[in-house]
């Protein structure tokens, strides 16, 4: 499929797709069609890869980490042990982010309650929360 079709299939803007290609995250095939510039042809596997990139970004992976993991996967170096190691590390990172978000929410809720109470002595202090 051409980049416009790929964009529709993945719901990614064309600029994002081109950015992913420039970073080596997506590797479409080149076609001889298209005059001086060959067309980039995408396969269904590329759709899956694009969706995985978005998922990995949502999970907090940097583009560099995503590239390294994807290259490792393409090279066939993804044993179950390695997959578990990567997933466990990400779970730990997400747990840390969750704890920080929970602390921030507690602070904000405390602040709202304090304002509703008419701003009495002892306003919630951000430094009392591990955000």
- Measured CA to CA, the distance from residue 56 to residue 62 in angstroms comes to 8
Average pLDDT along the chain:
90
Say whether both 39 and 10 belong to one domain: yes
β partners of residue 29: 41
User: How confident is the model at residue 3, as a pLDDT?
Assistant: 94
pLDDT 10s digits, 55-82 = 989 888 899 999 998 888 888 777 889 8
Say whether both 91 and 64 belong to one domain: no
32 pLDDT band, cuts 50/70/90, is: low
Checking if the pLDDT of 36 tops 80, the result is: no
- Measured CA to CA, the distance from residue 98 to residue 60 in angstroms comes to 12
Say whether both 11 and 65 belong to one domain: yes
Helix (H) or strand (E) holding 113: helix 80-116
**Token digits of residue 73:** 């996967």
- Measured CA to CA, the distance from residue 89 to residue 74 in angstroms comes to 20
pTM: 0.69
Say whether both 65 and 13 belong to one domain: yes
Q: How many domains does the chain have?
A: 2
H helices of 11-76, in order, are: 14-22, 44-58, 63-74
Domain span at residue 100?
A: 81-128
**Residues 27-48, mean pLDDT to the nearest whole number:** 85
Say whether both 8 and 64 belong to one domain: yes
- Measured CA to CA, the distance from residue 50 to residue 9 in angstroms comes to 10
């Amino acid at each position: 499929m051409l980049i416009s079709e790929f964009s529709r299939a993945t719901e990614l803007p064309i600029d994002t797709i081109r950015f992913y290609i420039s970073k080596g995250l997506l590797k479409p095939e080149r076609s001889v069609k298209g005059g001086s510039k060959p067309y980039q042809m995408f396969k269904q596997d590329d759709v899956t890869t694009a969706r995985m990139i978005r998922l990995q970004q949502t999970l907090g992976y940097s583009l560099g980490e995503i590239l390294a993991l994807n290259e490792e996967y393409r090279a066939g170096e993804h044993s179950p042990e390695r997959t578990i190691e990567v997933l466990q590390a990400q779970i730990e990172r997400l747990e840390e982010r969750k704890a920080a978000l929970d602390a921030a929410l507690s602070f904000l809720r405390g602040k709202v309650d304090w304002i509703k109470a008419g701003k009495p002595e002892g306003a919630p202090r951000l430094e009392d929360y591990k955000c």
